[in-house]
Amino acid sequence: MLQIKNLHASVEDKEILKGINLEVKAGEIHAIMGPNGAGKSTLSSVIAGNEAFEVTEGDIILEGEELGELAPEERAHKGVFLSFQYPVEIPGVSVTNFMKTAINESRKAQGMEEMPASEMLKKIKEKAELLEIDRKFLSRSLNEGFSGGEKKRNEIFQMAMLEPKLAILDETDSGLDIDALRIVANGVNKLKSKDNAIIVITHYQRLLEYIVPDFVHVLHDGKIVKTGGKELALELEEKGYDWIKSSVEK
Amino acid sequence: MELKDKLITSFVAFEQGLTGEHDVLHNIRLEGLKTFEEKGFPTKKEEAWKYTSLNSILKKEFTILPKKEVALDYKEVKKYFLSDSDTYKLVFINGIFSSHLSETTHDGIDVCLMSSAMNKPKYKMVIDNYYNQAVDKSDVFSALNSAYATEGAFINVPKSKVVSKPIEIIYFTTLEDQALLTQPRNLVVVGENAHVQILERHQSLTDSNVLTNSVTEIFAHKRAICDYYKLQNDLESSNLIDNTFIKQKQESRVSVHTFSFGGKITRNNLNFYQDGERIDSTLKGITLIGNKQHVDHYTLVSHNQPNCESHQNYKSIYDDNSVGVFNGKIYVDKIAQKTDGFQQNNNILLSEKAAVYTKPQLEIFADDVKCSHGCTIGQLDDEAMFYMRQRGIPQKEAKALLMYAFTDEVMETVKIPELKAKVAKLIATKLGVSMGFEI
């Protein structure tokens, strides 16, 4: 599904990603862990096409197609979804209206008709139930005055609505209490299928108890320095990131 | 002949043509002319006009007293109205009342013509008590209007009357191949506990030059509520000097929302005078312009009594070579303790050639008050743009949504749903998008 080859990326001439190689197949869940400043959020931004970062070398290939030149919205239309660490507040635009716009713009880009209102409503209802989201919540302005947990739950609600091929969850566990974490993880697990893939970016292994990865990658100083199964996350938790740093430097 | 000379030399003949006016008007006209003669049109040398030059408009050869009545077909101008039926309407074409397009009333309230108030004996008291009483006599454009004004809207809402539907005041201009100076004059009196909603617009139907010098006086009595909206979306050959003066008595609430989307040069002089306790004044605006358009908001809130509030919030978006000015003055008298004055002016510049000048001006003579002001000038938030585009919303639409979100604090207090929808649609049109929902 996704192939990343020797990816280098910079922001304001400072190189953050220094040669990432990663392959994610359909049906897989990959976790990317690492200390602060390792480049985790940069990697997710670059895959999604954030123009604040400059790709200086390497390729990002989704289902055989090079994403490099595509705008963020074009990547979204091809099925890339990023759950933001810090979702942005959009006053005056309700969650429902935002989702209608996003879905219909994607359909327009694919040459499809707008989704009929009844189908849209049904879908919204179904996905809101999945994430245990109250109806009233959906008519509120997007992310405005939402708690940290509400913002994250709303991100996964949007993921459920958009049904991406590749979902990247950037620090989705931060700001979530244990109940919200369970609801969010449960939602993600239900959205998981053999045809899509998920990349979970996290600092702690807590979330990985609920969303169990097939592979765990450790990112350090812009490179993947270790790859293993789900037990790697536990080992990392136990030994701390200094263990990685010292083993890399050896 | 220069416009100033023309206005001075034409006055005597103009006044001789008026018959049957209340006596008091003669002196008001003379006084206005005298002020205009002394001061003349303002130049950029004056502090209040530092950023707005009228040179380019004043050079034209103006028609100042159009006589010919013009008829318009409702179908042609329908789109400028709020709705088909549910409003009172006062419509003027080249300064002359159009009874055909209007819907006036004297049933419990007066929604009628300024010329009636100026001539009919039954309104003599109204003219004596209110006409020119809120106007700043030193203001030269208001003075010029006082000298020449003969027509406009007269709205009188008696005590405890809640006007069931909005009142629309529309001024059309239709002259071909000649510049037109038009000077409408509106008077609104809202009685104790009464409530009224008013929408005013000026619309040119041809691309001839137009200079509108409009004066509106609003008197809100004890506990009265008046929601006033100005929709400025005129052609780029039109210029507007809008002078609005509002006098409020205790516990009254008056709001003015100004939507400035069109015109070449627009100057909004908006003045609130609080004359009682626990008064609430709201001044809000959305400015969205491009090309070489110029919009200048010049506001004054005069807190003269204790325990009053004012809320000012102006959101502006400038593209191309457009220029914006915001000058907001809050005056707090020494007896106006516990005043709560709020002022906010946020600007987005979409082009490197656009410019905005923003200046808060606080004059506070009381010691126990809360006054805050803030202004920001920025570009569109890149992170927010990325967020929306990541969800599949294309750049242009994402930009429009962000700008719509930027104006939300102003939109949320618009109390006429149809107007809100119309303004949202105008914003979308200005931004060149059509949204899948009513933003």
Q: What is the pLDDT of residues B329-340, one digit of tens each?
A: 999 999 999 999
Q: Tell whether A158 lies on the interface with B, counting CB pairs under 8 A.
A: yes
Mean pLDDT in chain A?
91
Phi-psi label, residue B207: left if phi above 0, alpha if psi -120 to 50, beta otherwise: alpha
| Closest-CA distance of chain A to residue B384, Å | 6
Question: Which CATH architecture does the domain made up of A2-87+144-249 adopt?
Answer: 3-Layer(aba) Sandwich (3.40)
**Residue A175 confidence (pLDDT):** 80
Helix axis angle, A40-48 to B382-390, nearest 10°? 60
Of B388, B392, B407, the CB nearest to A106: B392
Of B393, B407, B411, the CB nearest to A101: B393
Q: What is the pLDDT of residues B324-381, one digit of tens each?
A: 999 999 999 999 999 999 999 999 999 999 999 999 999 999 999 999 999 999 888 8
Residues of B in contact with A86 (CB under 8 A): 383
Whether B197 has a pLDDT exceeding 60, the answer reads yes
Q: Hey, of B346, B380, B382, B387, which one would you mutate to test binding to chain A, going by the most A CBs within 10 A of its CB?
A: B387
Whether B439 has a pLDDT exceeding 50, the answer reads no
Residues of B in contact with A49 (CB under 8 A): 389-390
Which of B73-87, B195-209, B223-237 is predicted least confidently? B73-87
What's the pTM? 0.87
Higher-pLDDT residue of B74 and B28 is B28
Beta-carbon separation of A81 and B388 below 8 A: no
Whether B70 has a pLDDT exceeding 90, the answer reads no
Q: Hey, of B315, B344, B382, B386, which one would you mutate to test binding to chain A, going by the most A CBs within 10 A of its CB?
A: B386
- Closest Cα in chain B to A51: B386
Residues of B in contact with A51 (CB under 8 A): 382, 386
Residue type present at position B199: L
- Closest Cα in chain B to A159: B391
Whether B298 has a pLDDT exceeding 60, the answer reads yes
Average pLDDT in the B200-229 region?
Answer: 96
With cut-offs at 50, 70 and 90, classify the pLDDT of residue B265.
Answer: very high
Average pLDDT in the B132-150 region?
Answer: 97
Beta-carbon separation of A114 and B436 below 8 A: yes
Helix axis angle, A95-109 to A117-130, nearest 10°? 120
Q: What angle do CA A159, A165, A166 make, to 5 degrees?
A: 80
**Residue B435 confidence (pLDDT):** 62
Report residue A1 CA to chain centroid gap: 15
| Closest-CA distance of chain B to residue A43, Å | 15
Q: What is the pLDDT of residues A195-234, one digit of tens each?
A: 999 999 998 888 898 999 999 999 999 999 999 999 888 8
Highest mean pLDDT among A169-173, B98-102, B227-231: B227-231
Q: What is the pLDDT of residues A8-28, one digit of tens each?
A: 999 988 999 999 999 999 999
Whether B309 has a pLDDT exceeding 60, the answer reads yes
With cut-offs at 50, 70 and 90, classify the pLDDT of residue B178.
Answer: confident
Q: What is the pLDDT of residues A174-193, one digit of tens each?
A: 888 888 899 999 999 999 99
| Closest-CA distance of chain A to residue B132, Å | 40
Q: Hey, of A42, A54, A73, which one would you mutate to test binding to chain B, going by the most B CBs within 10 A of its CB?
A: A73
Going by C-alpha positions, the residue among A178, A224, A221 that lies closest to residue A30 is: A224
Beta-carbon separation of B387 and A84 below 8 A: yes
Q: Tell whether B384 lies on the interface with A, counting CB pairs under 8 A.
A: yes
Q: What is the ipTM of this complex?
A: 0.95
**Residue A7 confidence (pLDDT):** 95
Q: Which residues contact A129 (CB under 8 A, 6 or more apart)?
A: none
Q: What is the pLDDT of residues A24-64, one digit of tens each?
A: 999 999 999 988 888 999 999 999 999 999 999 999 999 99
- Written as one string, the DSSP assignment of chain A is -EEEEEEEEEETTEEEEEEEEEEE-TT-EEEEE--TTSSHHHHHHHHHT-TTSEEEEEEEEETTEE-TT--HHHHHHTTEEEE-SSPPPEEEEEHHHHHHHHHHHHHHHTTPPPPPHHHHHHHHHHHHHHTT--HHHHTSEETTT--HHHHHHHHHHHHHHH--SEEEEESTTTT--HHHHHHHHHHHHHH--TT-EEEEEESSSGGGGTS--SEEEEEETTEEEEEE-THHHHHHHHH-HHHHHHHHH-
Beta-carbon separation of A92 and B381 below 8 A: no
DSSP B236: T
Of A48, A87, A104, the CB nearest to B436: A104
Beta-carbon separation of B390 and A48 below 8 A: yes
Q: Which of residues 85-104 of B touch A (CB under 8 A)?
A: none
Beta-carbon separation of A52 and B437 below 8 A: no
Q: Tell whether B435 lies on the interface with A, counting CB pairs under 8 A.
A: yes
Domain boundaries, chain A: 2-87+144-249
**Residue A249 confidence (pLDDT):** 64
Whether B436 has a pLDDT exceeding 60, the answer reads no
In this complex, how many residue pairs, one in chain A and one in chain B, have their CB atoms less than 8 Å apart?
92
Beta-carbon separation of B436 and A81 below 8 A: no
Q: How many angstroms separate the Cα of A91 from the Cα of each of A152, B128, B141?
A: 17, 47, 39
Domain boundaries, chain B: 3-275, 380-439
| Closest-CA distance of chain B to residue A76, Å | 5
Q: Tell whether A107 lies on the interface with B, counting CB pairs under 8 A.
A: no
Q: Hey, of B286, B382, B389, which one would you mutate to test binding to chain A, going by the most A CBs within 10 A of its CB?
A: B389
| Residue in the block written with tokens 């003349």 | B40
Separation CA B202–CA B212 (nearest Å): 8
Average pLDDT in the B267-278 region?
Answer: 98
| Closest-CA distance of chain A to residue B147, Å | 45
Residues of A in contact with B433 (CB under 8 A): none
Q: Tell whether A169 lies on the interface with B, counting CB pairs under 8 A.
A: no
Beta-carbon separation of B383 and A88 below 8 A: yes
Q: Tell whether B402 lies on the interface with A, counting CB pairs under 8 A.
A: yes
Residues of B in contact with A45 (CB under 8 A): 386
Q: Tell whether B421 lies on the interface with A, counting CB pairs under 8 A.
A: no
Separation CA B232–CA A95 (nearest Å): 31
